Amino acid sequence: MNVGFVGVGTMGSGMAMNVIKGGHNLIVHDINRDSVTEHLEAGATWADSPKEVAEQSEVVLTSLPGPLEMQAVCTGEDGLLQGLTAGKVYFDLSTNSPSMVRQVAEEFSKKGAHLLDAPVSGGPRGAHSGRLAVWVGGEKDVFDQNKHVLDAIGDQVFYVGPVGAGSVAKLVHNCSGYIIQCALAETFTMGVKAGVEPLALWEAVRKGAQGRRGTFEGLAEHLLPGKFDPPDFALKLARKDVDLAVGVGREFDVPMKLANIALAEMTEAMNRGWEGRDSRVAMLLQEERAGVQVRSTEEAIKEVLGK
């Protein structure tokens, strides 16, 4: 299959090379032609513009810095829209704004072409090795027909839902990770300032309950099925632990912003009379504020965990 690729930078370079390794004919374009030297040597064809990439390709992939760059490549002068014809497919691999994705998708649909958002996760190392998660939003039948192209760049390709859903999933993943990163910086500085050697601290806690269980796996036990009774660990005990940690922070003059937010959430949940329920029950407070429930059936959860 003729596959176009626009944006051969830190992430795009490895993914574009894996398109070639996947047995596809690669048509490539980047604002810096020097970035595609190895791809051209491996048999790729150069195109002078995104428009030319679209004209020569059945499926087009882009890996770009953000929403504005994606919009320019799609709708700008000599952009993809000028070269795409009815039936052609475009996967945007960038981390993008769901609103921008949906807006540009409407322009594609007017020409009978298909835009699917397909952001990736795994970093430059994963882009080169092919160990990437790819989260796709768009028309399911178009995804199914062209999944083999994405299989060339990632080993975990998932259909998430309608156009924009892939971008939402990527933002949930990344934002969660950076919040957790801030929390770990907070608690580890508290631990080290309280007198524990850094490596010993890390080695110890990585084998605790939080370390052994994947960050998102825990959601399957309580939040997704909405099960907080009987408790695995009661809210009143969890709140006591966080209160003790905040106390250590005060003792050693360590700012504990996120820990104090968590303590306030748990205290509010306690005041609801939930002290004997599972400690994760405090997550219901955010559901109330957001006006949405994060739920699935236990049967569906088991099916996903069994994959």
**E strand or H helix at 85, and its extent?**
none
DSSP track, 8-45: -STTHHHHHHHHHHTTPEEEEE-SSGGGGHHHHHTT-E
Q: Note the pLDDT of residue 82.
A: 96
Q: Is the dihedral of CA 169, 173, 179, 183 positive or negative?
A: positive
Report the candidate in 42, 278, 170 with the shortest Cα–Cα distance to residue 28: 42
> Which candidate in 88, 170, 236, 240 is catalytic?
170
Q: Note the pLDDT of residue 279.
A: 96
The series of mean pLDDT values per 10 residues for the chain, 307 residues long, is 97 98 98 96 98 98 97 97 97 97 97 98 97 98 98 98 98 96 97 97 91 84 96 96 97 97 98 97 97 96 91
Opening angle at CA 66, ends 61 and 72, nearest 5: 70
**E strand or H helix at 63, and its extent?**
none
Torsion of the alpha carbons at 9, 13, 15 and 19, rounded to the nearest 10: 130
d(CA 225, CA 300): 10
Q: Note the pLDDT of residue 215.
A: 81
- Domains defined for the chain, CATH in brackets: 2-169 (3.40.50.720), 216-305 (1.10.1040.10)
Q: Note the pLDDT of residue 211.
A: 79
Q: Is the dihedral of CA 39, 40, 45, 47 positive or negative?
A: positive
> Is 140 considered catalytic here?
no
Task: Give the list of residues 6+ apart from residue 72 with CB closer than 8 angstroms, or none.
Answer: 79
- Can you tell me whether residue 271 is helix, strand or coil? helix
CB atoms within 10 A of CB 120: 24
